[in-house]
Amino acid sequence: MTETVLSVAGLTVSYGSHVALRGIDMEARRGEIVAILGSNGAGKSSLLKAIAGLVGKGMEAQVAVGGKDLSLLDPHEIVEAGISLVPEGRGLFGDLTVAENLRLGAFARRARAGEPERLAKVFSMFPRLGERHVQLSRTMSGGEQQMLAIGRALMAAPDFVLLDEPSLGLAPVVTQQLFMTLRRIADEGTGIVLVEQNTRASLKIADRAYLMENGHIVGGGSAADLGADPAVQRAYLGLAGDGAAARQM
């Protein structure tokens, strides 16, 4: 079976005269977690939005999944092609219940046939959602809302989930539990592109990572190699970069 790859080439994004991304090349495969690391303003969120079709791309940009060109598709067509975005802030419908939010995630044509099975799978990954399926989403905790946002994305039967700052505002123990579930999701065959300020936690669960600065990708490699790189430790982990610092990883 041919491996399904999300590929991005020559991606440029501008907001008026401000160039947010310039010449981005990257790829992710189903079943792996690819972390996008960088400081605020590096262009990480713009990258996810451009892949999802929410912001305009330069004419030379190419975005494809499994060899299918998505560059000129509308956002709903990109969902049908197998990409789901979980935006920063989660984007839930606060006055709808957990179950109603999840059912909206299965609106895509590709998702309708297997909706009951996927709903059961989401509840197995996030038991709290099953326990609170009739609760209004706006009354849930931040961690529960993030679980719901990810569960709704999974209801679309995606090949790839794009996650923008999933740990934002969450307690460390909740973040740890959430990231363990992300690893399980990837291990069961869904690709994840993870934008996350928590560099340490990202590198622990990721297979590969890209480093971004000022709208450019400036490095990349396996998560293990990057986590052990003294330059990455200094720039992204706040460590001294010597042997003692490496042992703290």
First CA to last CA across the chain, in angstroms?
A: 37
**Domain range for 181:** 5-82+158-247
Same domain as 169, residue 70: yes
Together in a domain, 42 and 145: no
Low-confidence stretches of the chain (pLDDT beneath 70)? 1-2, 239-249
**Is the domain of 64 the same as that of 168?**
yes
pLDDT of residue 245: 34
Residues 242 and 164 in one domain: yes
What pLDDT was estimated at residue 240?
53
Give the pLDDT of residue 237.
79
Percent composition of the chain: helix, strand, coil (DSSP 3-state, to 5): 40, 25, 35
How many Å separate Cα 146 from the centre of its chain?
A: 12
Domain presence at residue 87: no
pLDDT of residue 239: 60
Distant-in-sequence, close-in-space partners of 206: CB < 8 Å, separation ≥ 6 = 33, 34, 35, 194, 223
Whether residue 14 lies inside any domain: the answer is yes
Nearest CA among 217, 211, 208 for reference residue 237: 211
Do 167 and 73 fall within a single domain?
yes
* Domain final residue pick, 112, 129, 156: 156
Q: Do 122 and 235 belong together in one domain?
A: no
68 and 122: one domain?
A: no
Q: Is residue 205 part of a domain?
A: yes
- State whether 168 and 69 are in the same domain: yes
216-221: list long-range contacts, CB under 8 Å, 24+ apart.
Answer: 216/22, 216/23, 216/24, 216/43, 217/24, 217/25, 217/26, 220/26
Region at 176 (left for phi over 0; alpha for psi -120 to 50; beta for the rest): alpha
- pLDDT at residue 3, as a whole number: 77
- Give yes or no: residues 183 and 135 share one domain: no
- What is the domain-level CATH number for residue 175? 3.40.50.300
Within a domain: 185: yes
Q: Give the integer Cα–Cα distance in Å for 87 and 73.
A: 19
CA pair distance 205, 191, nearest whole angstrom:
13
Q: Indicate whether 145 and 123 sit together in one domain.
A: yes
| Count of domains for the chain | 2
- pLDDT, position 90: 86
Q: Examine the domain organization and report whether 206 and 126 are in the same domain.
A: no
Residue 99 lies in a domain: yes
Q: Are residues 126 and 243 in the same domain?
A: no
